[in-house]
Amino acid sequence: MNISYGSLNISVNYNDTMTLNDLVDAINTAPANNGNVEAFVFQDRDGVSSFRTFR
Amino acid sequence: MRIPDIAFFDTFIKYDRLREKDLERYTKELASGKKILTPSDSTIDNIRSLRFKKLKNDIETYNRNIDLVKTNLDVAESTLGNIVEAGKETRVDIINLMNYGVLDYEDARIFRDYLQSMRDYIINQANISVGDSRLFGGVKSQVNPFDSRGIYQGEFVDTTVPVAPGVELNTTFIGKDYLGTIPSGVWVDTDTDNTVDPNEINHKIGMVKAIDDIIQIIDSGNLNRLHSYISDLGYNNPTDPIVGAGESEH
């Protein structure tokens, strides 16, 4: 799976069992990333987890 | 043919009685100044009078309803005004925070408490009542339409009363529509029909959701996350698989 952030392209190995945590780890540790994009799991006050990124 | 005296006498008596009746009526008319003394004197006018009475009752009902609706609309308007003002004030402070970016621990706690009180204030306002009825609960109810999380728990129909023939105005409002709610929380397909039904989604006041997220980010200690991009899907747990979890909306 390729994720594009402007000019930055991050490749993530993806399969059906991938969890939200796995996706965050994969983006943060991708070699092409170099810390430009930080992904994190955001858990809101109602207990719902979602995926967020910022650069 | 001979007519007996007694027959003449009866006729005289009869006409005498009729004249007496007439005399009595004219006396009553003179005394009361009115021509119609009993309903049967004028059937058509009597029916008209009954119609007028009914119209008068209808108009009185409409007047009472107009008073009720006006009070409720006044309260609803001022409540929504209060919420808008609170939102505007909070917005300015949030923009300041995002421009400022860095807060020490104490300042962050103060700002967090301020946001907490603003979101509580907004929810309190949304739960406003007139008499014993919550305005934004949809139907007359003494249960708060919004819980402490800002999620709508009222009804999806509103109550109206007639204020003129064919014109009905609200006495209570569907809070979900009037308070600017957004879907929040995980969708649970309770009736397993694989369709997102209104009662399966949590409707949270949008402003409260935004303020809650900011509070959560301040609590996490990473203020730079205020600038993050949000994804479209929400999950019960970070260890849920991304695909096929049957969860969405957050």
Per-residue pLDDT tens for B202-220? 889 999 999 999 999 888 8
Q: Across-strand partners of B229?
A: A53
pLDDT for res B50: 92
| B140/chain A closest Cα distance in angstroms | 27
Q: Tell whether B147 lies on the interface with A, counting CB pairs under 8 A.
A: no
Nearest-Cα residue of chain B relative to residue A37: B228
For all residues of chain A together, what is the average pLDDT? Answer: 82
Contact residues, chain A, for B237 at CB < 8 Å? 20, 49
pLDDT for res B232: 65
Contact residues, chain A, for B243 at CB < 8 Å? 16, 18
Q: Tell whether B98 lies on the interface with A, counting CB pairs under 8 A.
A: no
Distance CA B186, CA B219 (A): 22
% pLDDT > 70, chain B: 94
| B193/chain A closest Cα distance in angstroms | 23
Q: Per-residue confidence at B101, pLDDT binned at 50, 70, 90?
A: low
> In this complex, do B235 and A18 lie within 8 Å of one another by their Cβ atoms?
no
Mean pLDDT of B41-57: 90
> In this complex, do B234 and A40 lie within 8 Å of one another by their Cβ atoms?
no
Nearest-Cα residue of chain B relative to residue A54: B228
Chain pair A-B, CB pairs under 8 angstroms: 89
pLDDT tens per residue, range B71-97 = 999 999 999 999 999 999 999 988 888
What's the predicted TM-score (pTM) here? 0.76
| A1/chain B closest Cα distance in angstroms | 13
pLDDT for res B248: 52
Distance CA B96, CA B103 (A): 11
Residue A20 has pLDDT above 90, yes or no: no
More confident residue, B173 or A4: B173
More confident residue, B185 or B42: B42
- Which range has the worst mean pLDDT, A14-28, B134-148, B160-174, B234-248? B234-248
Q: Per-residue confidence at A39, pLDDT binned at 50, 70, 90?
A: confident
Residue B110 has pLDDT above 60, yes or no: yes
Q: Classify each residue of B161-196 as buried b or exposed e, where b means 16 or more C-beta atoms within 10 Å of its C-beta.
A: bebeeeeebbbbbbbbebbbbbbbbbbeeeeeeeee
Q: How open is the CA angle B208-B212-B218, to the nearest 5 degrees?
A: 145
Q: What would the two tokens of residue A20 be?
A: 């939200």
Interface mutation vs chain A, best among B188, B231, B248, most A CBs within 10 Å:
B231
pLDDT for res B103: 73
Interface mutation vs chain A, best among B217, B223, B228, most A CBs within 10 Å:
B228
